[in-house]
Amino acid sequence: MEKEDKYFLIDICGTLYQSNTTFDFIRYFFSEKPWYIRLNGLRKNKLFRFCNTKAFEYLEFDCLRFLLIRHLKGYSKKHLSDMAHIFYNEYLVTVINRPVIDIIEAKRKEGIRLILVSATLDVIAKEVSERLGIPDVFSSHLSYDKQNVCLGRLKIDLLGNKANCLKSSNILEPYYGTITDNYSDLELILKSENSYVVVTDKQYQNKWEYLLKNNRYNHSFVLV
C-alpha cells in the first residue's frame, strides 16, 4: 500500500536514462533531415552555445530545444506516441541507468509514492510511465489543435518550473525524496528529506557537494 504523504520525485533525462530524451528523440528520427543538420551545426557553434547557456541560466529558456520542437509541427499526437514507443524499444532500453532503477524499485517496495517529474515531452514521459509502471507523471506538454495535430510548440513547459507545477497539484514540500542529475533540480533536492544525486564522474560530484554544503536533509550520490 502506498504512503500517500510520501512522494519520491524521479527525473527522467540523465537520471533514468543516459539520454537527453527530447534531443535524442528528435535526433533518432530526423538526423538526416536538412533542417536537423543545420541545427546540429548551430549547436556546435561556440558563440551559439555560449548564448544558449546564458539564456537558460538567466531566462530558463533553451533556444535549441525551442527550434527543434518547432519541427514536430504537423505530426499527429498518435504518430508522435507511436514514435515514442519505437524510440523506447530501440534506443532508451540501451541507455538505462540500472543503479537508478534499483533505487526506485526499493522505494516502490517500501510503499513510497513514485512520481515522474521531467521537462521531457509528454509523449516520451507517457511511454516511460507505462514501461516503468509509474502512473503519476508530470512533464512538458506539446500544444495540439482540435484534431490532435502538433502545433510545434509547448503548452506546458516544466524546464525550470517543476516545483511550481508540483505545488499547483497540491504535492507539497518537504518531499520524501528526489533522484536527479540536474542542477536545475537543486530546489527540489533542498526540499527533499532523502535525495539521490546521479553523477557520471568525480568532477560533477565535487560541484554538487559544494552546492549542497548547507543542505539540511540527507543526500547521497549515485555513480552511473
Q: Which three three-digit cell numbers place residue 31?
A: 538526423
Q: How far is CA 89 from CA 82, 84, 95, 120, in A?
A: 11, 9, 11, 17
The residue whose grid cell reads 535526433 is 27
pTM of the model: 0.94
Please give the DSSP secondary-structure letter assigned to residue 34: H
What pLDDT does residue 4 have? 64
CATH superfamily of 3-223: HAD superfamily/HAD-like (3.40.50.1000)
Selected residue with higher pLDDT from 85 and 4: 85
| 8 Å CB contact between 91 and 28 | yes
- Which tens digit of pLDDT belongs to each residue from 12-62? 999 999 999 999 999 999 999 999 999 999 888 999 989 988 888 777 789
| 8 Å CB contact between 156 and 137 | no
| Cα R_g (the chain), whole angstroms | 18
- Band of the pLDDT at 103, cuts 50, 70, 90? very high
What pLDDT does residue 52 have? 85
- Which tens digit of pLDDT belongs to each residue from 177-211? 999 999 999 999 999 999 999 999 988 999 999 99
Distance CA 177, CA 181 (A): 14
Q: Which three three-digit cell numbers place residue 4?
A: 500517500
Distance CA 215, CA 195 (A): 10
Q: Which three three-digit cell numbers place residue 183?
A: 542542477
Distance CA 88, CA 103 (A): 21
Query: Average pLDDT, stretch 75-91?
Result: 99
Distance CA 159, CA 178 (A): 16
| 8 Å CB contact between 182 and 14 | yes
Domain boundaries, the chain: 3-223
- Which tens digit of pLDDT belongs to each residue from 131-161? 999 999 999 999 999 999 999 999 999 998 9
